[in-house]
Amino acid sequence: MGLEQSVAIVTGAAQGIGYAVAQRFGARGAKVVVADRNGAEAAAAKLQAQGIDALGVAVDVSSPEQVEAMAAQAEALYGRIDVLVNNAGIYSSLTPKPFEQLTVQEWQQVLNVNVVGVFLTCKAVLPAFQRAGGGRIVNISSGVAFKGNPGMAHYVASKGAVISLTRALATELGVHKVLVNSVAPGFTLSDGALANPVLVEGVKGPSLRGRVLARDMLPDDVIGAIEFFADAPSAFITGQTLVVDGGAYFH
């Protein structure tokens, strides 16, 4: 099944990369569930105004009850779930700081959303995938998991966990015809990042200097890779991570 006939859940889709993915999927003919803690219904309304069949659901991905309710609502409305894009995560609100200054609370907050949230959403949609005869999971990790960027140890660790979880789930869920892959973007000038000038000031310069393609990375730059893993041409690919960062890391 291609995207044209699919039902896709995109978490963290009220803005930035998530919204761009939802928009692209919807333009292809997919029915899109916009899931986000804030702004989901407004984002879905914007997509509907473009002729896209979209549902907005307010959800905290670290809450098992809210995630299960989101999956149930999506399947009840559309009759199936075919694609899950795990884009929700904590990054743009973070302030880089030395490892020894990070608190347990900061670690727990990042891991609860970036790692536990992925676990919960995957678990919530699996029954629907099984009823549909298969599905696609695309986890958004990050190039920092391979480079070990300084000042963001908790974030780097969380994205490394997402890559490892992707591999584990691909191994376990293949029997259900569920493909699980990951896309690892470089530093992207998304809406969230632009709202944190301290982060942009500290990361943008080193990111540009490290890229073969020495320009800013925008949400549109990563959509194609996510779309590929969610669509029919990638039907024999699972457990993989594709780095999209303009050539900063060769993986």
At 87 the pLDDT is 97
User: What percent of the chain lies above the pLDDT cut of 70?
Assistant: 100
- Could you give all domains of the chain from N- to C-terminal order, each with its CATH number? 3-244 (3.40.50.720)
**Could you tell me the strand order of the sheet in which 31-36 lies?**
54-58, 31-36, 7-11, 83-86, 135-140, 178-185, 241-244
Which has the closest alpha carbon to 55: 68, 64, 42? 42
At 204 the pLDDT is 76
pLDDT tens-digit readout, 138-182: 999 999 999 998 999 999 999 999 999 999 999 999 999 999 999
CA pair distance 207, 30, nearest whole angstrom: 33
DSSP string, 18-44: HHHHHHHHHHTT-EEEEEESSSHHHHH
CA pair distance 230, 25, nearest whole angstrom: 9
At 84 the pLDDT is 98
Residue 121's H or E segment, with its range, is helix 117-132
Q: Which of 1-5, 16-20, 110-114, 118-122 has the lowest mean pLDDT?
A: 1-5
Provide the annotated active-site residues: 155
Of residues 190 and 106, more confidence is placed in 106
Of residues 88 and 190, more confidence is placed in 88
pLDDT tens-digit readout, 195-225: 777 777 777 787 878 889 988 889 899 999 9
Q: Say yes or no to pLDDT of 134 above 90.
A: yes
pLDDT tens-digit readout, 86-129: 999 998 888 889 999 999 999 999 999 999 999 999 999 999 99
